């Protein structure tokens, strides 16, 4: 079993790392997350959908830039399993 895991988006849209431009990012690279912690948002047609972590781990890297367009099934965050 690999010791890394990728979180995927289930919907198309624009990926954001923070809830609004004036607020801090949800998580930083190197930060530990628990199952269910929000790591970002995907906006589609002015509706925002949270992207929760599906396992506990440490954020290794973001695979898409903040504000990038994403497609269903696209990898967006790499986690190291806890």
Domain segments of the chain as ranges: 4-81
Closest CA relative to residue 79, chosen from 52, 50, 59: 59
pLDDT of residue 77: 98
Write the CATH number of the domain with boundaries 4-81: 2.40.50.100
pLDDT of residue 58: 98
pTM here is 0.91
Closest CA relative to residue 7, chosen from 56, 59, 76, 65: 76
pLDDT of residue 2: 65
- Per-10-residue mean pLDDT of the chain, 82 residues long, equals 87 97 97 98 96 97 98 97 88
């Amino acid at each position: 079993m690999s010791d890394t895991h990728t979180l995927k988006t289930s919907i198309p849209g624009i990926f954001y790392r923070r809830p609004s431009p004036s607020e801090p990012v949800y998580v930083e690279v190197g930060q530990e997350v628990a199952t269910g912690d929000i790591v970002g948002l995907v906006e589609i047609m002015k509706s925002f959908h949270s992207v929760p972590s599906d396992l506990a781990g440490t954020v290794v890297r973001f695979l898409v830039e903040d504000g990038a367009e994403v497609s269903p099934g696209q990898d967006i965050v790499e986690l190291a399993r806890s």
